[in-house]
């Protein structure tokens, strides 16, 4: 059984997704059990896969026994294994969180909702493990379609935002597919390793440049980097909290992973994609700062968090663009950290909205006295976003800055610092309201403490603790996984 | 000048369709037209893939007579066709989801014209 783990990581959630609506019709309780056990199973086998890969090196799985480049191949290496563990962990926590909110829905609707969630989960894991470019496209679309369905569950405004996202997401996927078409026409293969081996013959030709540009553009739109982020704040603000929590935490990070995979593993950083990477870096610098400025201007906390995500995606791209060992370590660490931090922030904010209907920064006043544990986790994650030691966020920024200084990329370093200062401004403003402002809302004042149900509280607190653990044990993560996951430079 | 067009007509068709689609998505203000432009854009990529697999004097890769012509030159490359079947499925599902969203938008706001929609959303 263990030799089939790579395919099971994708197949278990996909089969579960198909079964869930049917099971939910028969018995909602059974559907819940199937749902949770699906996530737990994936968590267990992704950890098993990562442990094995760190021990024995990359694991190539040939689907149906067809050897690549003719057959489809799934690859688990330290990078994809690590990402898979991250996605599985977030999926499990969010599904526990969603459980409390889902009980209000009728049985068949909650079945469909869980099913879409599972499908999104499966698509993201597929992107991570795909060993060929076309499979990556298919999984990209599977996850996007599931995400459209989930985001639109947030009501009328969410539907309009989702339609915008759908148009932009489809443009992105079309660009990516066209780029893959160019690469296929040049090399006659879709397998990532095979494309790499044929690179020397095609690097520097005009069609190759077009292919790289189209692929990078497509994945960058999927990542929602500035200035291609317009759909994101609306969609995040109006979608159901667990959906936002999961999509904001993981989905853009998986696109970032796909970009890293294509740029550094398939195309190789040196020379092949040089100019595109440089331009990407400058766009990211503008984005990191501009998105932070826009975050300062927001009153709705969820929109503020969404703009902060856009800015953090800029940091990740800056890391890719500098592309020395320290900067890439920082970018990878940030992918992990940001998934945990942003997941924590959005889920905590979801609890606040669910309990008190407070959505603006001012309405957070005195919230620490109402939802003490949730707000403690929110604060830890917010401090980490700003980048205070010893939280996780400090170390990823530290590596990025070190990389920027080593590469003499002073503008990038300054952009990182300016953007961090701006984020300190808008996050500390929120923390100040939460802890020091007097309670304003009468609705909040009547009841004393009304913490959210355990099912919603535990995931948020676990994420908050994880932020601290990631910070304290960052050395172990960097030497244990990330250094093994870095591309050869 | 002829060199750029002769034998490349399908690539030009694909490029023109792609640009028409992209322009349509950006320029039209009616959401349904945006959706149709999106479909045109997807078709452009499908034509591109089919064009790169085309070959004159070749046939579908089905070996009827195993004895004689089993050389690769006699057959077109079936892989892009298979890929495009998948891409068509993706395109159909995306359109389906988009139409579902448009029905919900129209039911709530009574319009798909972007300016009116923004106005009614503000209320």
Considering only CB atoms, which chain A residues are within 8 Å of B102? Answer: 163
User: Please, what is the angle between helix A107-129 and helix A78-102, to 10°?
Assistant: 170
pLDDT of residue A84: 94
Residue that is written with structure tokens 């530290």 in the block:
A398
Q: How many CA atoms lie within 13 A of B39 on its CB side?
A: 14
Q: Do B121 and A181 touch (CB under 8 A)?
A: no
* Tens digit of each residue's pLDDT (9 = 90 or more) over A298-341: 888 999 999 999 999 999 999 988 888 889 999 999 999 999 99
Number of neighbouring beta carbons within 10 Å of residue A75: 24
The string over A306-335, giving b where at least 16 C-beta atoms fall within 10 Å of a residue's C-beta and e elsewhere, is bbbbbbbbbbbbbbbbbbbebbbbbbbbbb
Residues B1-39: tens digit of each pLDDT: 456 666 778 889 999 999 999 999 999 999 999 999 999
pLDDT at A441: 59
User: Cβ–Cβ of B101/A152 closer than 8 Å?
Assistant: yes
Interface test with A, best of B17, B52, B82, B94 (most A CBs within 10 A): B94
Mean pLDDT, range A432-453, rounded to an integer: 70
Asked if the model's pLDDT at residue A219 lies above 50, the reply is yes
Q: Which candidate from A141, A162, A171 shows the least CB-CB separation from B90?
A: A141
- Amino acid A445: pLDDT: 52
Confidence of residue A43 (pLDDT cuts 50, 70, 90): very high
Please name the residue of chain B whose CA is at the shortest distance from the CA of residue A186: B52
pLDDT tens-digit readout, A1-11: 778 899 999 99
Inter-chain CB proximity A166 and B86 less than 8 Å:
no
Characterise A23 by phi-psi region: left (phi > 0), alpha (psi -120 to 50), beta (else): alpha
Residue in chain B nearest A147 by alpha carbon: B97
Give yes or no for a contact between B18 and B44, defined as CB atoms under 8 angstroms apart. yes
Give me the total of CB pairs closer than 8 Å, taking one residue from chain A and one from chain B: 72
Cα of B45 to nearest chain A Cα, Å = 6
Q: Is A166 on the interface with B (CB under 8 A)?
A: yes
Contact (CB, 8 A) for A177 and A170: no
Which of B101, B102, B116 best probes binding to A when mutated, by most A CB atoms within 10 angstroms? B101
Query: What is the spatial distance between Cα A317 and Cα A333, in angstroms, rounded to a whole number?
Result: 13
Smallest CA-to-CA distance from B48 within B74, B22, B87, B75 is with: B87
**B48–A178 C-beta distance less than 8 A:** yes
Q: What gap in Å lies between CA A265 and CA A487, rounded to an integer?
A: 6
- Contact check, Cβ <8 Å, A163/B98: yes
Contacts of A171 in chain B (CB under 8 A): 22, 25, 38, 41
Name the minimum distance, in Å, from the CA of A56 to any CA of chain B: 34
How many angstroms separate the CA atoms of A285 and A294, rounded?
14
Q: Is 60 exceeded by the pLDDT of residue A160?
A: yes
pLDDT in the model for residue A206: 84
Residues 105-164 of A with CB under 8 A from B: 134, 138, 141, 145, 148-149, 152, 156-157, 159-160, 162-163
Q: Distance, in angstroms, between A373 CA and closest chain B CA?
A: 35
Residues 6 or more apart whose Cβ sits within 8 Å of residue A218: A172, A173, A174, A175, A176, A177, A179
B87 to A171: CB separation less than 8 angstroms, yes or no: no
pLDDT higher than threshold 70 for residue A443:
no
DSSP codes, A268-314: -TTTTTHHHHHHHHHHHHHHHHHHHHHHHT--BHHHHHHHHHHHHHH
The model's confidence at residue B69, banded by pLDDT at 50, 70 and 90, is: low
Q: How far is B49 from chain A (nearest CA, A)?
A: 6
Q: How close B94 gets to chain A, by Cα (Å)? A: 7
Q: What is the model's pLDDT at position A104?
A: 67
Task: Report the distance separating Cα A136 and Cα A368, nearest Å.
Answer: 43
- Measure the CA–CA gap between A82 and A63, rounded to whole angstroms: 21
Is B13 exposed, middle or buried (CB count within 10 Å of its CB: 0-12, 13-18, 19+)?
middle
pTM of the model: 0.92
What was the pLDDT predicted at B6? Answer: 63
Inform me whether the pLDDT recorded for A270 exceeds 60: no
From CA A401, how far away is CA A397, in angstroms rounded?
A: 6
The C-alpha of A83 sits at a distance from chain B's nearest C-alpha, in angstroms, of 25
Interface contact flag, B108 A159, Cβ < 8 Å: yes
Give the mean pLDDT of A229-257. Answer: 88
How much is the pLDDT for A209? 86
In a domain, B68, yes or no: no
Does a structural domain hold residue B105?
A: yes
Q: What is the structure's pLDDT at B1?
A: 46
Residue A444 has pLDDT above 60, yes or no: no
Cα-based distances in Å from A170 to A247, A321, A347, B31: 17, 25, 28, 14
Cβ neighbours of B55 in A, within 8 Å: none
Per-residue pLDDT of A372-408, as tens digits, reads 889 999 999 999 999 888 888 899 999 999 999 998 8
Q: Choosing among A170, A215, A230, A237, which should be mutated to test the B contact, i.e. which has the most B CBs within 10 A?
A: A170
Question: Which tokens is B4 given?
Answer: 């750029």
DSSP per residue over A425-456, as a string?
HHHHHHHHHHHHSPP--HHHHHSS--PPPHHH
| Contact between A174 and B42 using a beta-carbon 8 Å cutoff | yes
pLDDT score of B68 more than 70: no
A250 token code pair? 């993981």
A334: nearest Cα among A419, A266, A407, A270: A419
Q: Please indicate, yes or no, if residue B61 is contained in any of the structural domains.
A: no
In this structure, what CATH number is given to the domain that contains residue B97? 1.10.287.3510
Average pLDDT over residues A475-480: 86
Q: Say if B69 falls within a structural domain.
A: no
Q: How confident is the model at residue A418 (pLDDT cuts 50, 70, 90)?
A: very high
Q: How far is B68 from chain A (nearest CA, A)?
A: 24
Q: How confident is the model at residue A130 (pLDDT cuts 50, 70, 90)?
A: very high
Bond before A390 cis per omega within 30 degrees: yes
- CA–CA separation, B6 and B2 (whole Å): 6
- Check if the beta carbon of residue A432 is closer than 8 Å to that of residue A364: no
User: How many other C-beta atoms can be found within 10 angstroms of the C-beta atom of residue A437?
Assistant: 15
Q: For chain B, list the strands marked E by DSSP.
A: none
Chain A residues with CB-CB distance to B104 below 8 A: 152, 156, 159
Domain boundaries, chain A: 1-131, 132-485
Give A21→chain B minimum CA distance, Å.
18
Chain A residues within an 8 Å CB radius of B45: 174, 177-178, 181
User: Which of the residue ranges A63-77, A176-190, A392-406, A444-458 would you say has the lowest mean pLDDT?
Assistant: A444-458
pLDDT over threshold 60, residue B72 = yes
ipTM of the complex: 0.93
A355 pLDDT exceeds 70?
yes
Token pair recorded at residue A146: 């599931």
| Of A149-158, A181-190, A339-348, the least confident | A149-158
Q: Do B87 and A177 touch (CB under 8 A)?
A: yes
Counting every residue, how long is chain A? 489
d(CA A127, CA A13) in angstroms, rounded, equals 14
Number of domains composing chain B? 1
Show residues of chain B in contact with A145, CB under 8 Å.
Answer: 93-94, 97
Cα A469 to the center of its chain, rounded Å:
19
Residue showing tokens 């799934």: A74
Q: Nearest Cα to A89, choosing from A250, A240, A236, A241? A: A250
Where b means 16+ CB within 10 Å and e means fewer, A184-202 reads: bbbbebbbbbbbbeebeeb
pLDDT digits (tens, 9 = 90+) for B82-107: 999 999 999 999 999 999 999 999 99
B31 within 8 A of B114, measured Cβ to Cβ: yes
Q: By residue range, what is the domain housing residue B52?
A: 2-56+75-122
Distance from CA of A159 to the nearest CA of B (A): 6
At residue A464, does pLDDT exceed 80?
yes
- Find the residue in A nearest to B23 (Cα): A171
Rounded to whole angstroms, the Cα distance separating B51 from A26 reads 49
Q: What's residue B67's pLDDT?
A: 62
Give residue ranges of B with CB < 8 Å to any A CB: 18, 22, 25, 31, 34-35, 38, 41-42, 44-45, 48-49, 52, 80, 83, 86-87, 90, 93-94, 97-98, 101-102, 104-105, 108-109, 117, 121
Instruction: Tell me which of B44, B85, B90, B96 to substitute to probe the interface with A (most A C-beta atoms closer than 10 Å).
Output: B90
């Amino acid at each position: 059984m263990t030799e089939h783990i790579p395919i099971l990581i994708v197949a278990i959630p996909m089969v579960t997704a198909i079964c869930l609506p049917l099971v939910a019709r028969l018995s909602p309780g059974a559907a819940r059990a199937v749902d949770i056990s699906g996530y737990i199973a994936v968590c267990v086998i992704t950890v098993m896969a990562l442990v094995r890969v760190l021990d024995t090196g990359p694991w190539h799985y040939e689907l149906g026994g067809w050897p690549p480049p003719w057959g489809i191949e799934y690859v688990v290496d330290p990078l994809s294994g690590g990402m898979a563990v991250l996605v599985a962990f977030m999926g499990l926590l969010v599904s526990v969180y969603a459980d409390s909110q889902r009980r209000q829905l009728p049985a068949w609707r909650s079945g469909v909702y869980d099913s879409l969630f599972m499908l999104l989960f499966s698509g993201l894991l597929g992107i991570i493990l795909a060993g060929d470019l076309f499979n990556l496209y298919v999984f990209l679309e599977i996850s996007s379609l599931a995400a459209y369905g989930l985001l639109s569950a947030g009501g009328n405004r969410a539907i309009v935002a989702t339609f915008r996202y759908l148009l932009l997401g489809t443009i992105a996927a079309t660009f990516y597919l066209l780029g893959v078409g160019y690469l296929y026409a040049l090399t006659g293969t879709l397998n990532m390793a095979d494309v790499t081996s044929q690179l020397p013959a095609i690097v520097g030709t005009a069609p190759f440049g077009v292919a790289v540009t189209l692929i990078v553009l497509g994945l960058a739109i999927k990542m929602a980097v500035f200035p291609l982020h317009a759909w994101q704040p609306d969609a995040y603000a109006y979608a159901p909290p667990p959906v936002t929590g999961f999509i904001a935490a993981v989905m853009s990070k998986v696109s970032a992973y796909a970009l890293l995979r294509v740029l550094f593993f398939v195309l190789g950083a040196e020379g092949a994609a040089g100019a595109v990477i440089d331009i990407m870096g400058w766009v990211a610098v503008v984005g990191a700062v501009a998105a932070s400025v826009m975050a300062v201007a927001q009153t709705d906390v969820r929109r503020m968090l969404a703009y902060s995500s856009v800015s953090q995606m800029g940091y990740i791209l800056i890391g890719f663009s500098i592309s020395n060992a320290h900067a890439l370590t920082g970018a990878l660490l940030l992918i992990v950290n940001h998934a945990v931090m942003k997941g924590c922030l959005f889920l905590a904010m979801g609890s606040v909205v669910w309990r008190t209907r407070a959505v603006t920064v001012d309405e957070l006043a005195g919230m620490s006295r109402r939802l003490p544990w949730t707000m403690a986790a929110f604060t830890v994650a917010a401090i980490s976003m700003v980048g205070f030691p010893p939280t996780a966020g400090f170390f990823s920024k530290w590596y990025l800055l070190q990389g920027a200084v080593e590469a003499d990329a002073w503008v990038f370093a300054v952009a990182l610092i300016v953007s961090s200062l701006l984020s300190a401004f808008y996050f500390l403003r929120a923390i100040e309201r939460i802890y020091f402002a007097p309670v304003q809302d009468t609705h909040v004042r009547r009841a004393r403490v009304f913490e959210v149900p355990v099912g919603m509280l535990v995931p948020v607190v676990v994420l908050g603790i994880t932020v601290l653990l990631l910070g304290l044990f960052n050395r172990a993560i960097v030497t244990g996984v990330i250094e093994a996951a870095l591309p050869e430079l | 000048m002829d060199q750029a067009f002769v034998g490349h007509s399908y690539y030009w068709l694909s490029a023109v369709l792609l640009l028409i689609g992209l322009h349509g998505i950006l320029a039209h203000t009616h959401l349904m037209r945006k959706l149709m432009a999106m479909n045109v854009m997807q078709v452009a990529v499908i034509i591109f893939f089919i064009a790169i697999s085309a070959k004159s004097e070749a046939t579908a890769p089905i070996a009827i007579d195993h004895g004689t012509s089993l050389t690769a030159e006699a057959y077109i490359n079936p892989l892009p066709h298979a890929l495009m079947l998948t891409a068509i499925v993706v395109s159909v599902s995306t359109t389906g989801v988009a139409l579902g969203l448009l029905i919900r938008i129209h039911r709530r706001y009574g319009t798909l014209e972007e300016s009116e929609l923004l106005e009614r959303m503000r209320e």
